[in-house]
Amino acid sequence: MKIQWYPGHMAKAKRKMKEDLPLVDAIIEVIDSRCPNSSRNPEIDILAKDKARIMLFNKADLADPARTKSFMESFRKQGFYTMEMDARSRSSVKGVSKLVMESCAELLERKKQKGILSQSIKAMVLGIPNVGKSTFINAYVGKATAKTGNKPGVTKGAQWIKIGKDLQLLDTPGITWPKFEREIVGLNLALIGSINDEILPIEELIFYLLKYLTRYYGSALVSRYGETLQGKEDALEAMDAIAVKRACIKKGGDIDYTKVSRLILDDFRSGRLGRISLEHPMKWEEDSQMEV
């Protein structure tokens, strides 16, 4: 099942982002902790290769903490400055300013040696749709500066936001990229809500999710939906058992697969299934081969 989503306004936003990159010293990228690989726009690595890089693992409260820790360590080894957070909490984002300044320490030292006394830093905030970028900015600033929403495409244009005397943020619209090279990327982005739900084949999507959950998080299914899920390794059997448990049955006794799929998707996105990550830091290649 191949999922692609790249509306026309994103191409325009990408062009504007490229125009603005020379204006900034650092890139703050907000990603979803549940799928750090999938929720990163790979084009940013090419466009911003000479910038200080900060990676904010948002929605860490919904993700598997052990996996998040492992991913963060991996990104640090690649030269990123990382921090986990829940962007809905202002206290959770307090350390971002310090992290930005640490990432730009060499730049500030070079300025000082040239006699430039200003310690001001300009940073561009990037993120694909619905990873919580605008929510983070509002918590960081302390007021509703950026528009937020629980669907992709809320932020439409770039805007500068001043943080104290030494930091300016450039908020940008969330953009994906024209083609997902791996099928798993489209699936994961669909599951976290970064792709418009209206275009998704929801039953196939949840079938994939259940294959993944029965492999890695079977206990979460049992905890949420009862002992009838114990030992279930087949995704279709698991879906049928959940449908019966939650009365997702049509007149005549047939399973209402659309209804049960929406129920499971809502349980996953809300965290009612527990702290689940869609990617394993050591099994990216293996999971990429999982058939849908």
Distances, alpha carbon 188 to alpha carbons 35, 193, 277, in Å: 7, 9, 10
214 in a labelled binding site: no
Give the SS3 label for residue 133.
helix
The gap from C-alpha 268 to its chain's centroid, in whole angstroms, comes to: 14
Bridge partners, residue 157, by sequence: none
245 in a labelled binding site: no
- Under 8 Å between Cβ of 30 and 126: yes
**Distance in angstroms (rounded) separating the CA atoms of residues 154 and 150:** 9
- Under 8 Å between Cβ of 158 and 172: yes
- Under 8 Å between Cβ of 279 and 36: yes
60 in a labelled binding site: yes
Bridge partners, residue 121, by sequence: 167
Long-range residue pairs from 69-78, CB within 8 A, at least 24 positions apart, any chain: 70/281, 70/282, 71/33, 71/36, 71/279, 71/281, 74/281, 75/36
Do the bridges between strand 81-84 and strand 167-171 make them parallel or antiparallel, or are there none, so unpaired?
unpaired
58 in a labelled binding site: yes
The three-point CA angle 190-194-198 to 5° equals: 65
130 in a labelled binding site: yes
Sign (positive or negative) of CA dihedral 35, 275, 53, 149: positive
* Best CA proximity match to 62, nearest among 270, 282, 290: 270
134 in a labelled binding site: yes
271 in a labelled binding site: no
142 in a labelled binding site: no
**Distance in angstroms (rounded) separating the CA atoms of residues 169 and 175:** 17
Binding site: what residues are annotated?
58-61, 130-135, 174
Output the known binding site for GTP. 58-61, 130-135, 174
